[in-house]
Chain A
Amino acid sequence: MDLSQQLIALAQIIAIDFVLAGDNAIVVGMAASRVAPAMRARVIFWGLAGAVILRILFAGVATQLLTIVGLTLAGGILLLWVCWKMFREITIHAPAAALASGGNLDAAAAPMTFGAALTQIIVADVSMSLDNVLAVAGAAKGQMWVLVVGLAAAIGFMALLSAYIARLLARYPWITWGGLAIVFYVAVEMIWTGTHQVGCRFVDQAACDSGPLSTLGKLFFS
């Protein structure tokens, strides 16, 4: 692979992550909007630093990851758990904090600790970055430096998106429900696709090629 091909691969990786890194940015932004404003930049920085390390690790073992059946399904279930944590955070912790602060919503806007926010970001990133990393590793064609530089550029972009989202959610907390809906959709989509992949191991090729519904129908009703 000569330099021009490597630069093309780098541009491809940046383009892929430019579009696909958004859902991770939502989780980072949502978590950052729920910590104290002074801590927000730190949460975004460490959350994204964790994302870089995880993606590089995953990309390094992408070939092995591809052989694991049910990885997408497991990632979807993990993400669903993150959704549940977020839902609890929105519906239970925030109103309780508001009550404790005498109904002052501004004082109650930071119910999350640094550790809790970081854990939420890292767990979501483990599941959400799996499919993105496989696509990116395919584009990198084994060139590690291309992969690392491309991912670093994409993470920088994600930091910008997260900062915008955190600022928006801190001002309009009701939009958090929209963020939760997006993450929930991604989780359900991963579970759907993952179930199809697992189901394909147990049905014939024709049923598998016909799509998830046909695969699951054959698996459960025949």
Chain B
Amino acid sequence: MAITHDARPIFRPRQESLGPQTVFVAALMLAATAGIFGPRSFTPDMTLPIVATLLFASAAAASLLAWNHGATAQHHLTYWDVAGALTFIGIAIAALIDPEQMLRIVTGARG
């Protein structure tokens, strides 16, 4: 009886990381919280800029995680995708901000 040793490493399907999804949902919840409570805590003028800034900051954090994780499978959601999506949503919100509104906020002038 021939005894054979199969030396090939055993490939088990790796459990997919839920990290990108978690970061995406957490960032959206953070931005939504700022959007809901912003008008009560700050002036209404500041709500949208704060939400957009939070989304951009979350995108930056996601991109740092992406750098840290390196390349991932093409078919899975990656931290780069999350960074892009958060940037995209941030820009959509920033498009609603009037330039004069930003000027009022940063210079402290009253409109």
Contacts and interface: CB of A to CB of B under 8 A. Distances in A.
Instruction: Say whether A and B bind each other.
Output: yes
Interface in A13-34: 15-16, 18-20, 22-23, 25-26
A100 B37 CA distance: 52
B26 interface: no
A23 B49 contact: no
Contacts of B49: 19
Contact of A23 (B63, B80, B85, B91): B91
Contacts of A19: 49, 52-53, 94, 97, 102
B32 interface: no
Contacts of B100: 135
Interface residues of A, number: 32
B84 A182 contact: no
A37 interface: no
Interface string B65-85: 000000000000000110111
Nearest to A16: B102
Nearest to A21: B94
Contacts of B20: none
Q: A19, A132, A138: which has the most chain B beta carbons within 10 Å?
A: A19
B95 A186 contact: yes
Contact of A132 (B80, B90, B92, B99): B99
Contacts of A165: 84, 87-88, 91
B103 interface: yes
A11 B102 CA distance: 13
Interface residues of B, number: 27
A182 B102 contact: no
Given A135-B102, A139-B103, A171-B81, A18 B88 contact: no
A138 B85 CA distance: 32
A16 B91 contact: no
A167 B99 contact: no
Given A131-B99, A164-B63, A15 B106 contact: yes
Given A15-B102, A164-B80, 11 more contacts: A20-B97, A20-B99, A20-B102, A135-B103, A164-B63, A165-B91, A168-B84, A168-B87, A169-B84, A175-B88, A182-B95
Interface of B: 49, 52-53, 56, 59-60, 63, 80-81, 83-85, 87-88, 90-92, 94-95, 97, 99-100, 102-103, 105-107
9 contacts: A12-B107, A16-B99, A19-B52, A22-B87, A26-B88, A135-B99, A164-B59, A165-B87, A186-B95
